[in-house]
Amino acid sequence: MNFPPKIVETAIEEISKLPGIGKKTALRLVLHLLKQENSTTSQLTNALNHLREDVKYCSTCHIISDTTDCTCKTITRDLTTICVVEDTPDVLAIENTAQYRGLYHVLGGIISPIEGIGPSDIKIESLINRVKTSDPKIEEVILALNPTMEGDTTAFYITKKLKEFDVKITTIARGIPIGGELEYADEVTLGRSIMTRTNYDQ
Amino acid sequence: MNFPPKIVETAIEEISKLPGIGKKTALRLVLHLLKQENSTTSQLTNALNHLREDVKYCSTCHIISDTTDCTCKTITRDLTTICVVEDTPDVLAIENTAQYRGLYHVLGGIISPIEGIGPSDIKIESLINRVKTSDPKIEEVILALNPTMEGDTTAFYITKKLKEFDVKITTIARGIPIGGELEYADEVTLGRSIMTRTNYDQ
């Protein structure tokens, strides 16, 4: 008896390369697939191959898409506002709020000297070009980057680069989360939320 | 903007059919794969296709294997003892204890009238044949089934079927788990562990 067999071991090894999936979960998935019809597995593998080989990035906003033009110029959205985000999940998060109807610009990363990622490695140049050449004119650029050192660095760099254009630059509000308690908020967040206080009737 | 694109949605849908994986985890896996080389995805999908199409079940002990003969008749194991389990993960669990060097017999299920699984749907007939025809002779059959109503029913049925053969039938010990506390044990377990008490020097 040779257990687990080679064929199963290879499958377990490949599955457990995925983030958050260990050997035990991988074994469970393998045994699940073995109990299903062959078509379950082939549908899964076809979808993954199709995804990896045929996915495109929109040439304007760099979001993942079926085509190189994600119709981000559609007239049903506000064409004068661009929201700059680090990566695709952020787009999904903002879309889920249903509070934003403008355009997006996915940087595909963030400036991080420690990881060797500079301004030219992410889609900043493309953002500048977009602001420069867009028709209708871009009125506002919202920086929706994570409130980390890297996020702030990137926001600072973009702001500097956009200074020469007549465009309003805003950033998402930082402060105490809805449902949060002052007592347990960290001092930086609390301090900033006092500094950037807003009128009560807003 | 059409987000998430069809191609991504299909992949998310297929991945989230796996047990324990929801839409959010599926999206995370999709974005992970998109950040890796194409070969990462193709290695994964090849392993899965290979697994589903080419995996075999040993014709003797019904364990998953690369071939229809898992060399379960190898002389390095005790050929006179068979441990009967419900499914493959149980084999793995017992192998991990390193306390058992005999053979296995995977039933591939358990008698469950509620789910419409009868004795003929699982590999009981094959177990009887094995005990009847095996050379060297099988001396002991260990029933390592889950301590549930279905497990007990299946154990009872197998015992009845094996009565006519000169074979010792045992079952794994039920009782308080190592490290468990009497105070918190359920009464059935505690009651049974008193009934089946063993001599102290064992």
Residue B2 pLDDT grade (very low, low, confident, very high; cuts 50, 70, 90): low
Which pLDDT does position A2 carry in this prediction?
63
Contact criterion met (CB < 8 Å) for B51 and A29: no
Which pLDDT does position B89 carry in this prediction?
84
Which pLDDT does position A69 carry in this prediction?
80
Looking at the fold, whether A96 and A163 belong to one and the same domain comes out as: yes
Average pLDDT, stretch B130-137? Answer: 90
> Could you give the number of structural domains in chain B?
2
Question: Which chain B positions have a beta carbon within 8 Å of A34's beta carbon?
Answer: 51-52, 55, 64
Which pLDDT does position B184 carry in this prediction?
82
Whether A84 is covered by a domain: the verdict is yes
Task: Name residues whose C-beta falls within 8 Å of residue B124's C-beta, 6 or more positions apart in sequence.
Answer: B107, B154, B157, B158, B161
Domain of B44 in residue numbering reads as: 6-54
CA–CA dist A44, B15 (Å, integer): 7
Which pLDDT does position A85 carry in this prediction?
93
**pLDDT (tens digit per residue) in B108-120:** 999 999 999 999 9
Per-position b or e across B100-132, b if 16+ CB within 10 A of its CB: bebbbbbbbbbbbeeeebeeeebbbebbeebbe
Looking at the fold, whether A119 and A158 belong to one and the same domain comes out as: yes
Question: Which chain A positions have a beta carbon within 8 Å of B70's beta carbon?
Answer: 1-3, 5
Looking at the fold, whether A19 and A79 belong to one and the same domain comes out as: no
Looking at the fold, whether B49 and B68 belong to one and the same domain comes out as: no
Dihedral sign computed on CA atoms, order B23, B24, B25, B28 = positive
CA–CA dist B94, B77 (Å, integer): 14
Of A6, A14, A74, the CB nearest to B1: A74
Looking at the fold, whether B46 and B136 belong to one and the same domain comes out as: no
pLDDT at B1 over 80: no
Residue bearing the bigger pLDDT, A198 or A12: A12
pLDDT at B73 over 80: no
Looking at the fold, whether B42 and B82 belong to one and the same domain comes out as: no
Please answer whether residues B56 and B66 qualify as being in contact, where contact means their C-beta atoms are separated by less than 8 angstroms: yes
Percentage of residues of chain B with pLDDT beyond 70: 98
Task: Look up residue B189 and give its two tokens.
Answer: 């377990």
Whether B201 is covered by a domain: the verdict is no
pLDDT at B49 over 90: yes
Looking at the fold, whether B69 and B167 belong to one and the same domain comes out as: yes
Residue bearing the bigger pLDDT, B198 or B145: B145
Q: Is A78 exposed, middle or buried (0-12, 13-18, 19+ CB in 10 A)?
A: middle
Contact criterion met (CB < 8 Å) for A34 and B64: yes
> Domain of B124: which CATH number?
3.40.1360.10
Work out the number of other CB atoms within 10 angstroms of the CB of residue A14: 21
Chain B residue nearest residue A65, CA to CA: B5
DSSP H helices, chain B, are 6-15, 23-35, 38-54, 88-97, 124-133, 149-162, 187-195
> Domain of A42: which CATH number?
1.10.8.420
Place of tokens 């199963």: A8
Whether A200 is covered by a domain: the verdict is no
Give ∠ CA B178-B179-B182 in degrees, rounded to 5: 95
Contact criterion met (CB < 8 Å) for A1 and B87: no
CA–CA dist B41, A52 (Å, integer): 7
Q: Is the pTM above the cut of 0.90?
A: no
The last residue of a domain, from among A36, A54, A72? A54
Looking at the fold, whether A75 and A129 belong to one and the same domain comes out as: yes
Which pLDDT does position A175 carry in this prediction?
82
Task: Point out the least confidently predicted range of A8-12, B92-96, B137-141.
Answer: B92-96
DSSP H helices, chain A, are 6-15, 23-35, 38-54, 88-97, 124-133, 149-162, 187-195
Whether A180 is covered by a domain: the verdict is no
Whether the bond into A147 is cis, omega within 30 of 0:
no
Give ∠ CA A135-A136-A137 in degrees, rounded to 5: 90
Average pLDDT, stretch A52-65? Answer: 88
How many residues in chain B?
202
pLDDT at A202 over 60: no
Whether A199 is covered by a domain: the verdict is no
Whether B104 is covered by a domain: the verdict is yes
CA of A188 vs chain B CAs: smallest distance (Å) = 30
Average pLDDT, stretch A166-184? Answer: 84
CA of B33 vs chain A CAs: smallest distance (Å) = 7
CA–CA dist B159, B142 (Å, integer): 10
Q: Which candidate, A137, A125, A135, A142, places its Cα nearest to that of A165?
A: A137
Place of tokens 């290879």: A10
Chain B residue nearest residue A69, CA to CA: B1
Q: In terms of DSSP bridges, do strands B140-143 and B81-85 run parallel, antiparallel, or are they unpaired? A: parallel
Looking at the fold, whether A106 and A88 belong to one and the same domain comes out as: yes
Looking at the fold, whether A83 and A167 belong to one and the same domain comes out as: yes
Please answer whether residues A202 and A180 qualify as being in contact, where contact means their C-beta atoms are separated by less than 8 angstroms: no
Q: Which candidate, A105, A101, A98, places its Cα nearest to that of A155?
A: A105
Which pLDDT does position B196 carry in this prediction?
78
pLDDT at B75 over 80: no
Contact criterion met (CB < 8 Å) for A71 and B1: yes
CA neighbours closer than 13 Å in the CB half-sphere of residue A99: 5
Looking at the fold, whether B73 and B30 belong to one and the same domain comes out as: no
CA–CA dist A15, B33 (Å, integer): 12
Looking at the fold, whether A138 and A94 belong to one and the same domain comes out as: yes
Task: Look up residue A66 and give its two tokens.
Answer: 């079926």
Please answer whether residues B65 and B57 qualify as being in contact, where contact means their C-beta atoms are separated by less than 8 angstroms: yes
CA neighbours closer than 13 Å in the CB half-sphere of residue A131: 25
Size of interface A-B (CB pairs under 8 A): 177
Whether A167 is covered by a domain: the verdict is yes
Backbone angles phi, psi at A185, to 5 degrees: -70, 145
Average pLDDT, stretch A24-48? Answer: 91
Whether A72 is covered by a domain: the verdict is yes
Please answer whether residues A14 and B43 qualify as being in contact, where contact means their C-beta atoms are separated by less than 8 angstroms: yes
Q: What ipTM was assigned to the predicted interfaces of this complex? A: 0.74
Average pLDDT, stretch A106-126? Answer: 92
pLDDT at A29 over 80: yes
